[in-house]
Amino acid sequence: MSENPIQPPAPRAHLGLRGQVAVAAGRSAALASRLLGKGSGGMIGGRVAQRICPDILARLAAGKNVAIVTGTNGKSTTTRMLTAAIEAGGHQVATNRGGDNMTGGLITALMSQRHAPYAVLEVDEMHVPGAAAQVRPRVLVYLNLSRDQLDRVGEITKIEGRLRQAVEENLQATVVANCDDPLVTSAAWEAAQPVWVAAGAGWTGDSLTSARTGGAIMRRGQHWWAAPLDGLFGEEEASGEMAETADDSTEETAGDSAQRPGSDRPAGDLPRGLQGFSRPTPQWTLALVEGEGTAEDPAADQDHTAAENKPTDLEIGTKAQVISSKLAVAHVPTQGADPLGGRAWAPGDPVLVRQAEAGEWTLRLALPGRANRGNAAQALAAAQVLGIEPSAAARGIESVKEVAGRYAMAQFGQAQLRVLLAKNPAGWQESLTMIDRQAGATVVAVNGQEADGVDLSWLWDVDFSRLSGHVVASGERGRDLQVRLQYAGLNCDFVADPLQAVATCPPGRVDLLANYTAFRDIRLALISKGVWK
Amino acid sequence: MSESTLRIGLILPQVLGTYGDGGNSAVLAARALWRGLPAEIITLDLDQPLPTDLDIYTIGGGEDVAQVIAVEYLRRGDALRKVVEAQKPVLAICAGLQILGHYFIDARGEKSAGLGLIDAITLPQGRRSIGELVIKPQVIGLQGLLTGFENHGGATLLGRYAKPLGATRFGSGNGVADLSKYPGLAGGEYIERDEAGTITLVEHEGRPFRTCQPGADGVVQGSVICTYLHGPVLARNPELADLLLARALGRTVGELPELQIPALKPLPAAPSSQTQLFKTLTEVPGLTQLRAQRLAAAGLHEEFLPQK
């Protein structure tokens, strides 16, 4: 690998003899694993090294500028974006590309780029305090928290607690946190140096109660605040007042007081330090670009018209969240007050990323979906903290075209196939904004292995109404999905094997949406068939 | 039933919606509509009082804090009590079950008052029951096995006025309370230990609640049906869905019109955009296979097949 002349001198970490032996053994193990075709070597190498030298992770990370990226969804994508941003700034970066986001994978990543001055590490949510204790990050990037494999990991409040612990134990770190997510905000609330990014929340279903205050999270437009339980239903007047003021949603200053818009009640019995726990004022926001049309999406027309002629701050003028009170068959899942109205975001649709003081940058992401606009904003904010000039960072972020095969288009038989990954309800909700309405067919593949979560009840919280045309349910738990889609009024076929399901589709564009292990198997199959590299 | 539309109340999906149980209301509505019976789902949120005049109510599962919020909401104006006293069908799942009892104690040992609408209390199991749950229902009108997924740390103990929904064939259902990790939990209440040191009785208002009713799941009391079955339970168990639907409509299951589900049928040898032709199905396609799969995951199979 060629050295970049303008790169700052690589830090000399003091691995010590034991550390050097560990790294050599780990690298051999990773190589052996790759050569034997047992895997990418992403985890085994690190595990071997750790066995020899238990604090190898700390030794490898010493002297590096480390960013940890975590959250339920978007970890791999944001890690790629931040890595690309730093590289665009002219620096080498060590990063775990394969999505091996536990200790072994982190060690392998740092071993493989020993002398890179920067490291961007995707870390599993539950492992953040442990990893951070070793690598002492300069930046913690907290994306979003929602339920993911409830039956395996436990309740979401536990994860919020882990992330909060990492904040409390790493006062050296700047926390780049999504303030549209109350759980993330709660985790980052006590950060010494928070950078709040309004990255959006496509899903609010898991943050309706406040993990910290024991009360409810109340919402109006983009704003949210914690209300104590006492008095939540005491004053019949309160809800009426809320409705009256619901149209003039404006940005409130953070921490201005315990009084929130629409609520003239004091914060009451909230614990000290949490009075006024509410959405902080974001330093970074997203906005639509003046005069730029985006992909046609009939579903978003109403929200479109208002935004046509002027740059619209997505923070302002949003409609209060309206939960439909009368439905027929469809059960409306819990979606965030997204001013984009769940519209589709195609690759190339421009978005403005604004920083209150530094300026604004237009990003034309090569990736689809609303969530990736939010991921890009957090990557840009984190890059700035790490000293990367934002316009360079922006070019780097735009250069990300696929993440481990996701988003990329490939010819498979008669199908122009694009594969999307969704691991949980929030991820599905976001992925459905990526489905190409021009695609003639959609295959949805669902497994229920331990890594996916064996309880698939959440399928009923996902709004599949965006699907249309030829739909095929697939995967090991495709029958759960088939029944779900039938109840949503969608007629669908069932073909157990996802790629066989693609083969049954009419020739042309096919979107294949898969959950974790289904995606993993599809990826391996496509690689073995030479469709993917 | 109000006028001609069946009105299904979906109680606090934003609070008790963690486990997909909102799907139960969608199943009820769909199975009514597919019979030509108008139906609508009324989503009930925190900012509006609970209406007492709907035809059927569903309550889902959620987390500890959510339960406390839901109790506060449902207690307001004694609304849910009025619903139950009016014999309206109520389906409550998991956390929804727990809040209808006299009280529930969460995994941290914190005790919260329930609504007292079913004769049950919930204590910690000391562990979580997670996995497939299959029960043989003990309710007249239900013959097939009920399949679902359980995920709870609470053990629900029934008093004499409450009956279980069914006997477990796989999984733990109402579970077994284990107070060994919670010294002092019982407070002033009377707890008796047997020779093995197991707590056998917990007293509430002068009446005993057995800490273990092995092999039971759920609660049936009056018009209230509760269970630990997620899935959602009505998606996996159409027999239970139709029983609730019939009760909400004031009919017997036999009096319900046949399901007529519009479906598309591929035409052989035609391009896909024109491959489809309407046909009508009398049950949701894939449901038989789904049930067989889930029962097989518990080492079981259908024991009763409805005659069609």
What are the pLDDT digits (tens) for A495-523? 999 999 999 999 999 999 999 999 999 99
Provide long-range contacts, Cβ within 8 A and 24+ apart, for A354-357: A354/A284, A354/A285, A354/A286, A354/A287, A355/A283, A355/A284, A355/A381, A355/A384, A355/A390, A356/A283, A356/A284, A357/A283
Predicted local distance difference test score (pLDDT) of residue A85:
98
Q: Residue B262 — pLDDT band, cuts 50, 70, 90? A: confident
Predicted local distance difference test score (pLDDT) of residue A148:
67
Q: Which residues of chain A have pLDDT under 70?
A: 1-13, 37-42, 148-155, 202-215, 229-275, 290-343
Mean pLDDT lowest among A303-312, B21-30, B97-106: A303-312
In sequence order, which residues have a C-beta less than 8 Å from that of residue B267 and are 6 or more positions away?
Answer: B274, B275, B276, B277
In sequence order, which residues have a C-beta less than 8 Å from that of residue B80 and are 6 or more positions away?
Answer: B50, B57, B74, B90, B115, B117
Q: Given an 8 Å threshold on Cβ–Cβ distance, is B264 in contact with A491?
A: yes
* Average pLDDT estimate for B42-55: 91
Measured between alpha carbons, how far is residue A283 from residues A380, A521, A524, B86, B265 in Å? 12, 40, 41, 53, 54
d(CA A68, CA B198) in angstroms, rounded, equals 47
Which of B290, B291, B294, B295 to probe by mutation at the A interface, max A CB count within 10 Å? B290
ipTM over 0.90? The verdict is yes
- By Cβ distance, the residue of B131, B271, B290 closest to A506 is B271
Residue with tokens 């303008």: A6
Q: In chain B, which residues have their Cβ closer than 8 Å to the Cβ of A473?
A: 286
Looking at the complex, report in whole angstroms how far the Cα of residue A270 sits from the nearest Cα belonging to chain B.
Answer: 14
Predicted local distance difference test score (pLDDT) of residue B172:
94
pLDDT digits (tens, 9 = 90+) for B285-297: 999 999 999 999 9
* Average pLDDT estimate for B216-242: 97
Work out whether the CA dihedral B75, B80, B86, B91 comes out positive or negative: negative
Q: Given an 8 Å threshold on Cβ–Cβ distance, is A155 in contact with B63?
A: yes
pLDDT, chain B, mean: 87
d(CA B92, CA A510) in angstroms, rounded, equals 40
* Paired tokens of A263: 């609520």
Residue B207 CB neighbour total at 10 angstroms: 13
d(CA A158, CA B10) in angstroms, rounded, equals 28
Identify whether the C-beta of residue B66 lies closer than 8 Å to the C-beta of residue B59.
no
Looking at the complex, report in whole angstroms how far the Cα of residue B65 sits from the nearest Cα belonging to chain A.
Answer: 6
The answer to whether residue A158 neighbours chain B at the CB level (below 8 Å) is: no
Mean pLDDT lowest among A61-70, A295-304, B131-140, B255-264: A295-304
d(CA A160, CA A187) in angstroms, rounded, equals 6
Residue A500 CB neighbour total at 10 angstroms: 12
| Higher pLDDT pick, A252 / B152 | B152
Q: What's the length of chain B?
A: 308
Predicted local distance difference test score (pLDDT) of residue A136:
97
B232: cis peptide before it, omega within 30°? yes
Predicted local distance difference test score (pLDDT) of residue B306:
62
Predicted local distance difference test score (pLDDT) of residue B2:
46
* Paired tokens of A402: 């696929």
Looking at the complex, report in whole angstroms how far the Cα of residue A9 sits from the nearest Cα belonging to chain B.
Answer: 50
